[in-house]
Chain A
Amino acid sequence: MRVKSGDTVATIPLDQVDPDFSRAEVRFEALRPPVPTYEARVFIDEPDANVNTATQDNPHYLGTQYFYGLGVEDTSPDRDDLYRLDGPTQSSRRQIALNVTQRLRAFLRQTTPHAAPLSLVAVDRDGNEIPEPDLDFEGVSLVTS
């Protein structure tokens, strides 16, 4: 799916999160590596988050995934074919995990379990919001272990 900045991309059932986790990750599943370089700020239970939403002293801010863009579109053929021996390319879809352990723990300490929306805000290197970022993935997971 392609998402816009500020979109709620998942709803997290916090009552199913074991609070005794030692690590928590927000995983972007089957993400296609983007062409431009930018960052995606991740907020929980803050559906109106935008580029001006605080990232310090804000328990709803979970972290930032920095995307190091390819720079150019990869036009090489799809290598998911079973019989290709040359493996994935730089633009092959992949799972990207953002460590949110400490911030999620802090958030859970000050909330009651409920279904909380997870939203993403895309920001360029000058600090401007990117309304329609090159952000394409198949799902978002919150994984605790």
Chain B
Amino acid sequence: MAVLTAVAPEREAFIAPVTRTGKVTVRKSVYALTPDEIRTYRLAVYRIAKISAQNVHDNRGYQWIAGVHGQPGNYCHRTPRAFAIWHRPFVQQFEQRLQDAVPDGSVFLPYWDWTTRKAQAEGIPQIFLDATWTNPDTGKVEANPLLAQPQTLINRGNTARGKRANPANLISLRDDVHMALLAPDYYTFSHDLENPHNSVHGWVGGSMGSIAYAAYDPLFWAHHCYVEYVFCQWQDAHPAAVQPNIDPRDLAPWSVTIDRIWDYTRLGYAYEPDNASDLRMSGIRPGPGAAASNTLQSRATVAHFPVYTIDPADFSRADLRFEGLRPPEDSFAVRVFADQPDADAKTPTDDTNPHYLGTRHFFGHGDCGGAEGHCDPIPRDIYDLRPAHHYDLKQVRLNVTKRLKKLIALGRAEGTDKKNAEITLVAVDPEGLEIADADLYFEGLSFIIR
């Protein structure tokens, strides 16, 4: 899967729209970490391991947390249906313990996307293989805390990994993940995702290869951080999916209910796509009609994406997603064109125009029917359980699969070596007349390619 994101210039990275107070942790790919981020992550793991070294039963320590999964806690999803949802709080609590250990706000859990070509070429990411690092707490060169950890809680030696098979074999898991993402309901999704997840545990082998010991291996957390990312993507793609009926015992030992953790956007983390650093350079820039903050004026070229670098055979669905979009007051439509910067309301939108990607129709809220303040969103805090305000920022998507495949195929057939396609938006009213100044505010555009 590839997720192409362009972000508003004032934002450092894409985060899901969150209107409550609290810092959102943005999880990044292990392949996108800066040297400082690698050092900080290692430092956090080192520090919680040190807590365990001082007292193995301290619940802030690496040993205690790892021991919840298999030996000695044996809590890891005792029923198959709980697979995806049980690991959600497990992964988050580990990340929060790391953040407690390095409380400057810089720590996040990186994810290892084992469906990428990089993973298939290199296998386990290098930061988990390095033998040593320089520990800033001691100033000494010491054993890399991401390579192995002791298993003192269960009286075993250090974690170890097996002799690994060719990582190219991981390619077969890509289809499995794609299939899981197409699942129509949570139970099917969770079941379908568990199988490729199992395969990675077996492929790494050693401690990772057994439920009993897996969580003691530091690689476990990057693996499951990616599993959670896939879960979030599935939820994004299925916003109407019914919340599953999970027995509270299936969420032990977490003191949470499914209501509390089903909506991941309420949990304070989000994911940055693994190619976001490339895309940031080609992110949103003001087009000829665009004002600041991306309040759309018609015929605005709002972003460009390297879509020509993607093989049409590599994806089964492509969505163009408006991030942080404020629902408009009026009803109108936005036509999306690629590589047609002079598009206007008269530009063809049928099959004769390969640059037309689709139209997103907005159903406006209309004039305010309430008393003063009814249409003014109020920032919510984390304790607010009321439904979202009708003007809270949202994600809105447009399925552009078929037309994008056609456009890329055309670009390749023409032998062009360009990478990027410019996205131009044209706003039209219900009668098809162009609206010069549409009431449309959004914070960014993403291409979600699966």
The answer to whether B74 touches A66 (Cβ under 8 A) is no
Nearest CB in chain A to that of B209: its residue:
A37
The answer to whether B165 touches A126 (Cβ under 8 A) is yes
Contact flag A72-B199 (CB < 8 Å), given A86-B249, A87-B78, A87-B250: no
Interface SS majority for chain A: loop
Digitize B50-92: 1 where CB-to-A-CB distance is under 8 Å, 0 elsewhere: 0000000000000000000011001010111000000000000
Chain B residues, CB < 8 A from A125: 162, 165, 202-203, 205, 209
Contact flag A66-B199 (CB < 8 Å), given A87-B78, A87-B250, A89-B78: yes
Residue A107 lies at the interface, judged by CB distance under 8 Å to chain B: no
Which residues of B from 187 to 213 have beta carbons under 8 Å from A? 188, 191-192, 195-199, 201-203, 205, 209-213
Digitize B171-195: 1 where CB-to-A-CB distance is under 8 Å, 0 elsewhere: 0000010010000000010011001
**Measured between C-beta atoms, what is the minimum distance from B182 to chain A in Å?**
10
Residue A71 lies at the interface, judged by CB distance under 8 Å to chain B: yes
Query: Interface on A for B, CB 8 Å cutoff?
Result: 23, 37-39, 64-72, 74, 76, 85-90, 92, 94-99, 101-102, 125-127
Contact flag A68-B70 (CB < 8 Å), given A37-B210, A88-B78, A94-B80: no
- Given B165, B202, B249, which contacts A66 in the complex, CB threshold below 8 Å? B202
Digitize B201-227: 1 where CB-to-A-CB distance is under 8 Å, 0 elsewhere: 111010001111100000000000000
Chain A residues, CB < 8 A from B205: 37, 125
**Measured between C-beta atoms, what is the minimum distance from A94 to chain B in Å?**
5
- Given B78, B179, B211, B249, which contacts A99 in the complex, CB threshold below 8 Å? B179
- Per the bound structure, the CA–CA distance linking A95 and B81 in Å amounts to 10
- Given A65, A71, A86, A102, which contacts B71 in the complex, CB threshold below 8 Å? A71
Residue B247 lies at the interface, judged by CB distance under 8 Å to chain A: yes
Query: Interface on B for A, CB 8 Å cutoff?
Result: 70-71, 74, 76, 78-80, 162-163, 165, 176, 179, 188, 191-192, 195-199, 201-203, 205, 209-213, 247, 249-250, 252
Chain B residues, CB < 8 A from A101: 179
- Per the bound structure, the CA–CA distance linking A121 and B195 in Å amounts to 17
A-B contact pairs, 25 of them (CB 8 A): A37-B198, A37-B202, A38-B202, A39-B199, A64-B195, A65-B195, A66-B195, A66-B198, A68-B210, A71-B209, A71-B212, A76-B74, A88-B79, A90-B78, A90-B211, A92-B78, A94-B80, A96-B191, A99-B179, A99-B191, A99-B192, A125-B162, A125-B165, A125-B205, A125-B209
Chain A residues, CB < 8 A from B213: 71
Chain A residues, CB < 8 A from B79: 87-88, 92, 94
Chain A residues, CB < 8 A from B247: 87
Q: Please name the 10 residue pairs, one residue from A and one from B, whose CB atoms are nearest each other, closest first.
A: A71-B210, A71-B212, A66-B198, A87-B249, A68-B198, A66-B199, A37-B209, A37-B202, A88-B78, A68-B201
